[in-house]
């Protein structure tokens, strides 16, 4: 598949990597239907892409809402007059130890169910329902070939203080294999990308000391940029023999 042929949904595109991916698609002459809860970010993205060869279609969507996902997929198909791709990029962090002991008081503190559930609802359940509805739309409208790209994470191998995030991202990586096997007969490929530490609004809020310590662990000696991950996205879109695998793009970092 070529970038200029894409009619692709990109979630979490109000900034960061999602906005970068959408810009590159539209710049190449393709179409991108983008969503986020950040309406200002979507407006800025639309403005930035207005004079490019392709087209951007932006709409607010809560990917933790099943009905909103279905509505957005239908709308995207209508706006682009077709649908042949998805980048499951929307996500958030709510880090914390599952159980910890307060150093001063000795009080035992537990991760709340709400803290767990919010990450699962957006990073896993929402992503899964988006795949489900996009693939169903592709099949019902005979839109093939197609490509699905899930954004996993280096954290899928396990990382202290991220039980909720690890659970979501490891499940997405595993289901990339599952879905590649299920959808391959329909001409739909499924791949995943596992970024390491990437410069995004999500990572910009990190504690300076923690950030510096993490950068020192990266063999290439720097934080990744959205363009580094875009190269992996482009590869998966364009390589018709790639499916059912997760690409690690992490500068060699191990957690």
Residue 108 lies in a domain: yes
Residue 94 lies in a domain: yes
The reported pLDDT for the residue numbered 52 is: 97
For residue 112, what is the domain's CATH number? 3.40.50.720
Residue of 20, 77, 165, 241 marked active site: 165
The reported pLDDT for the residue numbered 210 is: 74
The reported pLDDT for the residue numbered 199 is: 87
DSSP classification of residue 14: S
Q: Which strands sit side by side in the sheet containing 146-151, from one edge to the other? A: 55-60, 31-36, 7-11, 85-88, 146-151, 188-195, 246-249
Query: Quick one: tokens of 67?
Result: 């009905």
The reported pLDDT for the residue numbered 202 is: 66
Please, is 104 exposed, middle or buried when counting C-beta atoms within 10 Å of its C-beta (0-12, 13-18, 19+)? exposed
Digit-coded pLDDT (tens) for 206-224: 677 777 888 888 999 899 9
Structural domain including 153 reads 3-249
Residues of the chain short of pLDDT 50, as ranges, are none
* Number of domains comprising the chain: 1
Q: Where are the alpha helices (DSSP H) in the chain?
A: 16-27, 39-49, 66-80, 113-120, 127-140, 163-183, 201-204, 208-216, 226-238
Query: Quick one: tokens of 128?
Result: 């899964």
Residue 254 lies in a domain: no
Residue 42 lies in a domain: yes
Q: Is 165 a catalytic residue?
A: yes
The reported pLDDT for the residue numbered 226 is: 95
CA distance 122 to 151: 12
Residue 237 lies in a domain: yes
Residue 255 lies in a domain: no
Give the CA dihedral 209, 159, 17, 243, nearest 10 degrees: 150
The reported pLDDT for the residue numbered 213 is: 81
């Amino acid at each position: 598949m070529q970038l200029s042929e894409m009619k692709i949904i990109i979630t979490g595109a109000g900034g960061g990597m999602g906005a970068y991916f959408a810009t590159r698609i539209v710049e190449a002459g393709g179409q991108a239907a983008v969503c986020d809860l950040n309406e200002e970010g979507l407006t800025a993205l639309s403005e930035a892409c207005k004079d490019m060869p392709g087209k951007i279609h932006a709409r607010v969507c809560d990917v933790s809402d099943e009905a909103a996902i279905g509505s957005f997929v239908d709308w995207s198909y209508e706006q682009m007059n077709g649908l042949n791709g998805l980048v499951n990029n929307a996500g958030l962090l709510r880090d914390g130890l599952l159980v910890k002991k307060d150093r001063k008081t000795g009080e035992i503190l537990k991760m709340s169910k709400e803290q767990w559930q919010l990450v699962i609802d957006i990073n896993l359940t929402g992503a899964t329902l988006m795949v489900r509805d996009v693939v169903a739309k592709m099949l019902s409208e005979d839109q093939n070939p197609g490509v699905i790209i899930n954004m996993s994470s280096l954290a899928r191998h396990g990382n202290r203080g991220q039980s909720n995030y690890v659970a979501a991202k490891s499940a997405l990586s595993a289901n990339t294999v599952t879905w590649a096997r299920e959808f391959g007969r329909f001409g739909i490929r499924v791949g995943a990308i596992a970024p390491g530490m990437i410069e995004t609004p999500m990572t910009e809020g990190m504690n300076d000391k923690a950030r510096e310590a993490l950068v020192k662990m990266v063999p290439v000696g720097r934080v990744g940029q959205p363009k580094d991950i875009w190269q992996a996205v482009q590869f998966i879109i364009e390589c018709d023999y790639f499916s059912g695998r997760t690409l690690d793009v992490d500068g060699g970092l191990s957690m």
